[in-house]
Amino acid sequence: MMNFALRVECRSTRGIVAAISTFLADQSCNITDSAQFDDADTGNFFMRVSFRSEGGSGLEGLRSGFKAIASQFGMEAEFFDEGVKRRVIIMVSRFGHCLNDLLYRWRIGALPIDIVAVISNHMDYQKVVVNHDIPFHLIKVTKENKAEAEAQQMRVVEETGAELVVLARYMQVLSDEMCRKMSGRIINIHHSFLPSFKGANPYKQAHDRGVKLVGATSHYVTADLDEGPIIEQDTIRVTHAQSNEDYVSLGRDVEAQVLARAIHAHIHRRVFLNGNKTVVFPASPGSFASERLG
User: What does pTM read for this prediction?
Assistant: 0.92
Q: Where are the alpha helices (DSSP H) in 141-182?
A: 146-160, 176-181
Rounded Cα–Cα distance for residues 279 and 287 (Å) = 18
Higher-confidence residue of 262 and 143: namely 262
Mean pLDDT of 245-272: 96
What's the pLDDT tens digit per position in 37-49?
Answer: 999 999 999 999 9
Instruction: Give the residue among 32, 23, 72 at the shortest CA–CA distance from 287.
Output: 32
pLDDT of residue 289 exceeding 50: no
Query: Catalytic pick from 38, 226, 246, 253?
Result: 226
C-beta of residue 191 within 8 angstroms of C-beta of residue 202: yes
pLDDT of residue 26 exceeding 90: yes
What's the pLDDT tens digit per position in 55-82?
Answer: 888 999 999 999 999 999 999 999 999 9
Domain with CATH 3.30.70.260 in the chain: 2-81
CA angle, corner 79, sides to 222 and 269, nearest 5?
Answer: 35
pLDDT of residue 291 exceeding 50: no
The one-letter code for the residue type at 27 is: Q
CATH C-level class of 2-81: alpha beta
Contacts of 163 (CB under 8 A, 6+ apart): 86, 87, 88, 185
What's the pLDDT tens digit per position in 88-98?
Answer: 999 999 999 99
- If you average pLDDT over each of 15-29, 209-223, 240-254, which comes out highest? 15-29
C-beta of residue 120 within 8 angstroms of C-beta of residue 134: no
Hey, which CATH number is domain 86-293, 3.40.50.170, 3.40.50.1100, 3.40.50.970, 3.90.25.10?
3.40.50.170
Q: Respond yes or no: is residue 26 known to be catalytic.
A: no
The one-letter code for the residue type at 18 is: A
What's the pLDDT tens digit per position in 193-243?
Answer: 656 777 778 888 888 889 898 899 999 999 887 789 999 999 999 999 999
Torsion of CA 160, 155, 142, 219, to 10 degrees: -50
Domain with CATH 3.40.50.170 in the chain: 86-293
Rounded Cα–Cα distance for residues 227 and 28 (Å) = 43
DSSP secondary structure of 15-83: THHHHHHHHHHHTTEEEEEEEEEEETTTTEEEEEEEEEE-S---HHHHHHHHHHHHHHHT-EEEEEETT
Question: For the chain, what percent of residues have pLDDT higher than 70?
Answer: 95
Other CB atoms within 10 Å distance of the CB of residue 50: 21
